[in-house]
Every structure is written in C-alpha cells, then in structure tokens.
Chain A
C-alpha cells in the first residue's frame, strides 16, 4: 500500500521495514498507556500480568477516600476558574493582535507565549517568592492566577490560528449594515472563531488539570490538587488507586482529544464556507 507501483522488490523490502519500524514506534507511544489501564481492575495490589482477578475495589477506593475526593474537587475548581481567566484574556489579546496595527506586535506576542517556554520550576519558584510578598501563597486565588498564566499561551496560539483565516469584510459588512461593534463581534466574529476559542480553552483546562510543579510550590495540603495527590503517592509507594486515577485521566484525555478533533473539523468546514 505504501510503496509506489513502480517500486523494485528491494524497495518493497525497504518499505516493509519502514512500516515495521513505524509500528514499533506507535507501540512505544501507546503501549505504556494501554498497559497501565487493565492493572487498575486487578483484584490484588501487585502490578503483574496475568491479572490475579478482576475487581473494582481501587475505583471504590478512589471515589470514597476523602483525600482523593478533595483533590478532585480542588482540581476542578482551579482548572475551571483559571480556564475562564486564560480564555477571556487570551481571546481578547488574539483579537487585538490580529488587527495588525498593534505597535511591537512581535515582541508582545513573544512575551505572551513565553510562559509556555520558561521552565516551569522557574515560574513556580518566582511565584513562590513573589506571591509570599502579597499573601497569595497557599490560597486558591494564587493557584488559579498561576495556572491562568500557564494556560494563556495556548489560547493565544489557537485563537490567532483561527483568526488568520478570518475574512475581515464580514465584520465590516455587519457594521456597515448598522450593527454596533459589539453586535458585530457577538453575531459574526464570535461564532466563526468559536472552535478556536473552545480548543484554546480545552488546552488551558488540561494545562491546569495536569500541572503539578507550581501546585507543589504554591499550595498547602488544603488546596492539594489531583496531580499533587498522585505525585506524593508515586513518590512513596504506587498504590493501585493511582492506576485507577490514571485510567480515569486517560479516558478524560481521550474524550478531550475527540472534542478537539471535532472542533478542528468544524473550524475547517466553517473556513471553507466563508472562503
């Protein structure tokens, strides 16, 4: 299937090894994730195959243990609020930058993207010092602000990407027909860039949802998030409850990826319709 019709036998052999190599790489990529999931259904706390028996006890443990429940709740609170801040500010900034007349746009964009590039430990330590001075350490607000910073680059990038294909004459037409700038934005621009905004928001959400380093520095046990709870669990002794949590997170990631893919298709369709 891969080799062109004019390929020689030797070339066909090359293509066979190429396909084999790629298969192994795909196995490397997906294997660890597939291996960890069945272990969460094991009836015994050992990580061995074949499974000694099936059981849901680790899931029961996950949902009934107070610590995991609080961690889940904290993660949800912090992720939702930091996503709202990141998406709001990030979308506005992308809209402003895409108008093409902001002075020093290149420099501003590099600054806005830099939280994605700067090593996260530096962000964590700097905020740990800086937030201590204003009493934001060990508060939900501090963690939310920090995660919002880490999420904004994703929103800026995805919304900017959506806006590069955006036809400006549409909003001009709306305003010339009497719509106020706000109405034009709400009824014309927003529906068209919505897929980009949503996928940016999902990336921001998952950034906060997965973040552990900043959470380790800025939060007390009271604000302990899911990754932080997992981290301390892995450090000490991997309990099977962690594999149950991991499985749930993988399913969550799969749903997220599916949503992103659907959004990407929708965005392409919308762009096709306006082009």
Chain B
C-alpha cells in the first residue's frame, strides 16, 4: 500500500522538486537584487573610509626609512653577531650608503628615525654626512668613532640593525610608554618619552566625567519630558533639539564668550558679589568638561527619553497603591526599567567623547588635550606619521570595542535621531 502511494505521488513529486528549485532560484535572484542595492554604498564606504583607515593602521608598524636608505649597511649587518663593535666592513657599507643619502637629501630622515630610539642620533647622522661630503677615504670605522665615540657603541648598532626590519613594534610600544632595549626585551620607556599612558587615562577620565555629568543633568529632564502632556513636552523638546542641531563651533564660541575672564559669567559673579576678582573658567579642565557636557547632553537625554516614554504611568501608581513610598516606588519600579535607555545614552556619549578634538583644543588648556589632539599634532607638526597612526590605532581599537558592546546591548538599528 505504501509503495502504491509513493508511486501514485511520483508525478506531483517531480513537480515539487522543480518548484523547489524554481523557488530557490527566485530567492537567489531576490537576494542578489537586495544585495545589489546595498553594494554601491558598501563599496563606497570600504574604498573611501575603511581602506584608508586600514592603510593608516599599517603605518603604525611600517618601518621602511632605514631599510630603503641604508641597504648596504643592513646587508653588512646581517652577518654581525652583535657582540662587539662591527668591523670596518659594516662602516664602509654605511659610508657608501651615506654617499647616496647625502645625494638624495635623506640623511636627516634616517637620522630622525634612529633618533626616536637613540636620542641625539639625528645630529650624529648629519655630522657623519658632512664628514662624507668632505671627501677622503676610509677607514671609516676609525674616522666616525673619532668624530663621535657613540658610533662605536654595540647597543647603537643593535638598534640600527633592528631598525632595518620592515615592520616595527616601536610606535605601538611608545604609545604604551614602553620600548625595546638593545637586547630586544620590552622595558619601560624613558621618563621623558612616557607621556602617552597619561594621555589615554586623561581621555578616558574626561569622557567619564562628561558621561556622568550628562546623566545627572539629563535623567531628570528626560523624565520630565516623558511625563508631561505631549503639548508641553514638544515645546520643551525644542530646547533639547535646538542645541543638538546647532553647529559645535557655534556652541564652543558661545562658551568662550561666556567663560572668558571678562565674559558674561564673570560679570554676573562680580555683580552678585560672589567673587571679588575674575575667576579663570576657561582654558582649563572645568571649561573643557562644561562645554563637552553641553554638546553631549542631548545625546544622553534622547535615548533615555525614548525608553521612559514606553514605561506606562500605571506601574508607579500600582506600586504606590500597594504601599510603596514615593521614593521606593521610583527606585525599585521605575528606575530599573529605564536602565536600557541609560546604558544606550551613556555608552553613546562615552564613545563620542573619546574622540573629541575641536572643543578641548579651543576651550582646554595644555593639560586637557585628548588623544585626538595628539594624533593631529603628530600628523601636522611633528610629521611622525608612525606615531600618529599608532595612537590613532589604539584609540580606534578602544572605540570599536565599545561600539561592539553598544551593538550587542542596544543594537545600532535602534538608534533614533531627533
């Protein structure tokens, strides 16, 4: 009987497979069509945004100056055992390389690269370059060591040899206040160079202060907006949204005008006899945190508000009618329900605060500059692009980890604007 049924169904069964295939094909076409809509933007973002960032990250480990400028020296150093000062062979190769770098005007560039790891190396290279230009022959080992005894140091040549590698951990280590000594072991960096951990801690600390300030100021306001009747709430919402859409530069300018020593706030403080002399409110930590809080406040308020809006008012009433006091009802019934909004708003503000550059640059003092400022500084002024990329890479890593947390907890698709 079973066999008969199977045979009887054989006809439609063939149709069903073909239908399945057709359906699968249609789905595939459909998927391809959907993807073709997404593809242009994805390619655009990958090419103009992700690729440059990837290349920048490569710069943080790239190390081609010495390899490209001193090829003969590096070849000669290949056989060096690292125990005693290299022989005349290495020095002669070095002199030959310097002839070329003098011609290409790259001696200072190589010297600068070595100078990162051996203070004073740049001037030593320039001096050696002049020696080469003066002409005359070897032996170069004696000549160079006579000019500067440091050319005979074993540690110096160990670092030179290492600097010839195509990749280097130097910039990343420096960003963490570490360095490799001549033997290659990772040790604490010289005190003069150990500035970066402080900068990262400062960046995180300022961001935390700003996040906390926006939460303390924003939570009650979000609550007010959520419980007011829509007619009033809409009017007050304008007060939150107008700063949100106003240029950051305009708002920063406004704070400078308000906070400067002959500014409006100092005038008021004096008029009220709260102070007897003008107070320094700007170009310090206070001004930085205050302006940043002002700019970030709407970012914290809006997610909290949208969560609070979805909490029925009856919950609080029920808690009260069951005997809870006003505070108990608020803390045990209402506040836990607002946590997703608090998490979203605070995380967003914290992530965005980490990357601040313009506001601290305009209203902060030298001690308030954050990581972004130093990325810009090393790119524009110091021309140390490896260091800029390494600092940027670490900042990017911190940001992306928090972004992933945000994505997991909140979902980036849940972000609403306005």
Residues in chain A within 8 A of chain B (CB atoms) = 2, 4, 6-8, 11, 14, 18-19, 21-22, 25-26, 28-33, 35-36, 39, 47-49, 85, 89-90, 92-93, 95-97, 99-103, 108-115, 117-131, 145-146, 148-149, 152, 154, 156-158, 160-161, 199, 203, 206, 209-210, 212-213, 217, 227, 230-231, 234-235, 238, 242-243, 246, 249-250, 253-254, 256-257, 260-261, 264
Given contacts A130-B56, A210-B247, 7 further A-B contacts (CB under 8 A): A2-B224, A7-B326, A29-B297, A33-B242, A121-B392, A246-B254, A261-B241
B189–chain A nearest beta-carbon distance, Å:
23
Contact A90 B245 (CB under 8 A): no
B272–chain A nearest beta-carbon distance, Å:
14
Among the listed A25, A127, A235, which residue makes an inter-chain contact with B362, where contact means beta carbons less than 8 Å apart?
A: A235
- Which residues in B have their C-beta under 8 angstroms from that of A213? 357-358, 376
Interface string of B247-291 (1 = CB under 8 A from A): 111111111111010111001000000000000000000000000
Contact B238 A127 (CB under 8 A): no
Q: List 11 A-B contacts (CB under 8 A).
A: A29-B243, A96-B39, A101-B34, A108-B42, A109-B412, A130-B56, A149-B49, A161-B416, A203-B417, A209-B247, A253-B245
Q: Which of B41, B241, B247, B413 has the most chain A CB within a 10 Å cutoff?
A: B41
Contact B217 A25 (CB under 8 A): yes
Chain B interface helix/strand/loop/mixed: helix
Asked whether any CB of chain A lies closer than 8 Å to the CB of B322, the reply is no
Return the chain B residue nearest A255 by Cβ.
B245
Bound-state Cα–Cα, A209 to B245, Å: 11
Contact A230 B35 (CB under 8 A): no
Asked whether any CB of chain A lies closer than 8 Å to the CB of B399, the reply is yes
Return the chain A residue nearest B236 by Cβ.
A26
Contact B55 A130 (CB under 8 A): yes
Among the listed B38, B262, B358, B392, which residue makes an inter-chain contact with A96, where contact means beta carbons less than 8 Å apart?
A: B38
- Which residues in A have their C-beta under 8 angstroms from that of B134? none
Bound-state Cα–Cα, A145 to B260, Å: 37
In the complex, which range does the number of interface residues on chain B fall in? 35 or more
Contact B31 A117 (CB under 8 A): no
Bound-state Cα–Cα, A33 to B250, Å: 8
Among the listed B35, B40, B46, B258, which residue makes an inter-chain contact with A35, where contact means beta carbons less than 8 Å apart?
A: B258
Bound-state Cα–Cα, A87 to B35, Å: 18
Contact A103 B35 (CB under 8 A): yes
Known: A39-B257, A118-B399, A154-B417. A234 touches B357 (CB 8 A): no
Asked whether any CB of chain A lies closer than 8 Å to the CB of B59, the reply is yes
Bound-state Cα–Cα, A158 to B181, Å: 53
- Which residues in B have their C-beta under 8 angstroms from that of A95? 37
